[in-house]
Amino acid sequence: MVAGFFPILRKYFLLVFLCGIFSLSGCDNDLFGIFGSTDLDERWSARNSFKFPGFHDRNLSLGDEYSFIMLADTHIEGSLFGLGKLKDVIDSDSDIKFVVFNGDITQNGKQKDVDRFTKLAVDLGVPCYPAAGNHDIYFGSWPVWKKNIGSTCYKIDGGSATLLVLDSANAFFGAKQLDWLEKELKKANGRVFVFTHVNPFIENPLDIQQFTDIRERARVVSLLEGRCDIMFTGHVHRRIINKAGGVNYITVEDYRSTSVYCKVFVTKDKVRWEFKKL
């Protein structure tokens, strides 16, 4: 009886230890959401295949002065956690031209939560651009994203600015995507803003969902230097602001537990940002 008890006890403590590790890692991890998606090639081949946003929302004319909102890690799960109040913010400020949801939009990619997001996005009354996070794609949820949203890697031409959304849901970009980024940067109009979920510069031994290829990091910095205004990321659930090669790198804390979003103000001469709460 006693001899059989200790193996059970060891398994129990191992499970508790693993759950503790996952709870300390960057994302709001779900124990069974840590395993990587196997849909990378299909996601790449589906680039620029859109269900949402619609055609008109992908063709902007921003002008020289405007603002936009970026938020990350909303982790929608049965509730919007107050995201509906974004409409009041947008309705009170006509300078806000679009919103970017920068990954982990849902907690586990379920159809009903993706529906909640797309309905919210349409109701906001301005174009909304989603970036895929690990929570959106894992759990076998790529088919749901593909059916309802489509591309995880795409460009939005805003006339005076170019928005580039990258797929880092598996904690790397891959050579094909970075080749695509290089080509798009060379022909991009005006200011350039890059959005992706996972911060490629954070090293956290407790985060199993992080970039590990230093060559990719070096290439990203080299590609963006002198060409991009800001690269926005999320995932680590805390605010980080760095600058390298003339590029600002902004990581916003998770919306779900903080209600924080980043509002970016663009003029012909400069770009500035503020962090606000809903």
Q: Is 144 helix (H, G, I), strand (E, B) or coil?
A: helix
pLDDT score of 125: 96
Global pTM value: 0.88
Output DSSP code: residue 1: -
What pLDDT is recorded for position 200?
87
Sheet containing 96-102, strands listed edge to edge, beginning at the edge strand earlier in sequence: 128-131, 96-102, 66-71, 260-266, 271-277
- Contact by Cβ (8 Å): 109, 78: no
pLDDT at 203: 64
Tell me the per-residue pLDDT of 200-253, one tens digit each, with 9 for 90 and over.
887 665 555 666 678 899 999 999 999 999 999 999 999 999 999 999 999 999
What pLDDT score does 11 carry? 40
Q: Are 211 and 174 in contact (CB under 8 A)?
A: no
Per-residue confidence (pLDDT) for residue 201, from 0 to 100: 83
DSSP-derived pairing of the beta strands 271-277 and 161-165: unpaired
Which pLDDT value is given to residue 36?
63
Say how far apart CA 205 and CA 251 lie, in whole Å.
19
The whole-angstrom separation of Cα 22 and Cα 13 is 14
Task: Tokens for 154, please give them.
Answer: 């795409």
How many whole angstroms separate alpha carbon 275 and alpha carbon 1? 58
Residues of the chain with pLDDT under 70: 1-36, 203-212
- Could you tell me the residue range of the domain that residue 202 belongs to? 2-277
CATH of the domain at 120: 3.60.21.10
3 state SS for 12-41: HHHHHHHHHHHHHCCCCCCHHHCCCCCCHH
Side by side, the strands of the sheet bearing 230-234 are 154-157, 161-165, 191-198, 230-234, 247-251, 240-244
Split into its structural domains, the chain has a count of 1
pLDDT of residue 243: 93
Give residue 204's pLDDT.
63
